[in-house]
């Protein structure tokens, strides 16, 4: 029998996050957009309530919940606000690499500090000359008797200048995917320098360019096995892409709900907008795509919980949910007319914040590449 309903625990989590997000985040979305700074106080409040890193083990400060719960949390956070919601949802970016490949000491010293709200975390892969082709990174780690010396530049790193620690991918041998290793690096160490990048949207996210100059990293801070970083990354993406899908599904839902309400209230030619078929059909298409994205994202998360992560489905969920968010927010602005272009209404912010979805965590083109390789048996 197929059962699409959420169980009691999932429903309770969903309701609890919704209540928090509606009260603490939604009313202040515009304010945070204008402040353009990371919403630390809301991050800490969310952490206190168990909404940060809920799927991390209890012994390391998490709730020990399943991945589906984490996806539901992300959806509710961004439904309330695309900007603040995704900033909080992205606070755990560095954690999965430690959860799966870190030593007990690394989990205790670094990962455990995130669910408690002590610090955000980050993962640094992208470089100024290398984005989609992650196997080609050039940041170099040279082995010494007492540790590693790292030199290079990373760019577009979410939480790169506000986190106490980051996961850093660097080249430890050769020049292809077989020579990459992951390190956990403290941002206070000498040789680590980060500066923020100005962006089109996600104004309260920290996105940084990081310069690494003779950064010394002890042997104990290598994550997992030397030269296994790329394989670890593939595991990371299997899950992180579902989370990005969930974040953007929430953005799509938030924009759709606002547009639906507006279409019922605003009148033109003597009747509510929703009674004009051109507008009603836009809303019908939004509804259709959101429901389809929900099925993809939640099924991909459910497969992770069953121990059967599916790279093609994770990519499909990310691809479809982010493209849905771009389409839905575009049409939401259209339904609001001139007010949609004004900063007075949330949909303008949702539109800007949705746009990056088809770019980060692997572009739409790269997701199609992955899916096509899996279905043709090449991956």
Ligand X SMILES: Cc1cc2nc3c(=O)[nH]c(=O)nc-3n(C[C@H](O)[C@H](O)[C@H](O)COP(=O)(O)OP(=O)(O)OC[C@H]3O[C@@H](n4cnc5c(N)ncnc54)[C@H](O)[C@@H]3O)c2cc1C
**Closer Cβ to ligand X, 156 or 192, answer by number:** 156
Closest CB 249 distance from ligand X, rounded Å: 18
Six token digits for residue 333: 């602005």
Q: Give yes or no: 22 in active site.
A: no
**Smallest distance, Å, CB 306 to ligand X?**
28
Please report, in angstroms and rounded to a whole number, the separation of the first and last CA atoms in the chain. 31
C-alpha span between 273 and 10 (Å, rounded)? 36
Give the number of other CB atoms < 10 A from CB of residue 182. 30
Indicate the residue among 65 and 202 with the shorter CB distance to ligand X: 202
Q: Which is nearer to ligand X, 136 or 147 (CB)?
A: 136
Q: Which is nearer to ligand X, 274 or 317 (CB)?
A: 317
* Contact residues: ligand X, CB under 6 A: 93, 122-126, 131-132, 156-158, 199, 202, 207, 356, 359-363, 365-366, 369
* Nearer to ligand X (CB atom), residue 123 or residue 316: 123
Measure the CA–CA gap between 319 and 369, rounded to whole angstroms.
11
221 Cα distance to chain centroid: 24
**Closest approach of Cβ 214 to ligand X, in Å?**
22
Report how far residue 217's alpha carbon sits from residue 226's, in angstroms, rounded to the nearest whole number: 14
> What long-range pairs does 176-180 form, CB within 8 A, spacing at least 24?
176/135, 176/136, 177/135, 177/230, 178/227, 178/230, 179/227, 180/135, 180/137, 180/227, 180/229, 180/230, 180/233
- Burial track 38-75 (b if 16+ CB lie within 10 A, e otherwise): bbbebbebbbebbbbbbbbeeebbbbebbbbbbbbbbb
- In the complex, least distance from residue 168 CB atom to ligand X, rounded to whole angstroms: 10
Residue 270 CB, nearest approach to ligand X (Å): 44
Question: Smallest distance from the beta carbon of 369 to ligand X, in angstroms?
Answer: 6
Both tokens of residue 213?
A: 């100059």
Length in residues, the chain:
379
Q: Is 52 helix (H, G, I), strand (E, B) or coil?
A: coil
Give me the residue whose beta carbon is nearest to ligand X.
131
Comparing CB distances to ligand X, the nearer of 158 and 324 is: 158
Strand ranges inside the chain, DSSP E: 121-124, 140-143, 147-158, 165-171, 180-186, 192-196, 207-218, 222-223, 267-268, 271-272
Whole-number minimum distance, CB 329 to ligand X, in Å? 16
As a whole number of angstroms, the distance between CA 136 and CA 144 comes to 23
Which one, 44 or 199, has the nearer CB to ligand X?
Answer: 199
Out of 24, 127, 331, 361, pick the active-site residue: 361
Q: Is 141:153 a contact under the CB 8 Å cutoff?
A: no
Q: Which residues carry out catalysis?
A: 361
């Amino acid at each position: 029998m197929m059962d699409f309903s959420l169980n009691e625990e999932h429903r309770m989590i969903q309701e609890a996050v919704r209540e928090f997000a509606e009260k603490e985040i939604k009313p202040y979305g515009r304010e945070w957009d204008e402040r353009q700074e990371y919403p630390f106080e809301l991050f800490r409040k969310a952490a206190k309530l168990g909404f940060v890193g809920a799927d991390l083990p209890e012994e390391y400060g998490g709730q020990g919940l399943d991945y589906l719960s984490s996806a539901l949390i992300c959806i509710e956070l961004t439904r309330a606000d695309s900007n603040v919601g995704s900033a909080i949802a992205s606070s755990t970016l560095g954690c999965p690499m430690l959860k799966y490949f870190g030593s007990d000491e690394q989990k205790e010293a670094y990962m455990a500090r995130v669910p408690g709200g002590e610090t955000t975390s980050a993962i640094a892969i992208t470089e100024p000359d290398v984005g989609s082709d992650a196997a080609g990174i050039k940041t170099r780690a040279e082995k010494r008797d007492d540790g590693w010396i790292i030199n290079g530049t990373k760019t577009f790193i979410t939480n790169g200048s506000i986190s106490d620690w980051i996961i850093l991918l660097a080249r430890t041998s050769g020049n292809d995917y077989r020579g990459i290793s992951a390190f956990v690096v403290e941002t206070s160490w000498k040789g680590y320098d980060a500066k923020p990048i100005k962006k089109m949207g996600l104004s309260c996210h920290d996105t940084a360019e990081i310069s690494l100059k003779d950064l010394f990293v002890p042997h104990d801070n290598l994550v997992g096995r030397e030269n296994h970083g790329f394989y670890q990354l593939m595991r990371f993406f299997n899950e992180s892409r579902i989370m990005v899908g969930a974040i953007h599904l929430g953005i799509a839902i938030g924009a759709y709900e606002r547009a639906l309400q507006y279409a019922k209230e605003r009148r033109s030619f003597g009747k509510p907008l929703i009674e004009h078929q051109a507008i009603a059909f836009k809303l019908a298409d939004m509804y259709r795509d959101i429901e389809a994205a929900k099925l993809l994202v939640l099924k991909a998360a459910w497969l992770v919980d069953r121990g059967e992560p599916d790279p093609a489905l994770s990519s499909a969920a990310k691809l479809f949910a982010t493209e849905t968010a771009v389409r839905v927010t575009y049409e939401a602005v259209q339904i609001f007319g001139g007010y949609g272009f004004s900063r007075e209404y949330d949909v303008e912010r949702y539109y800007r914040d949705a746009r990056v979805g088809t770019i980060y965590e692997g572009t739409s083109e790269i997701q199609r590449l992955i899916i096509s390789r899996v279905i043709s048996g090449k991956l």
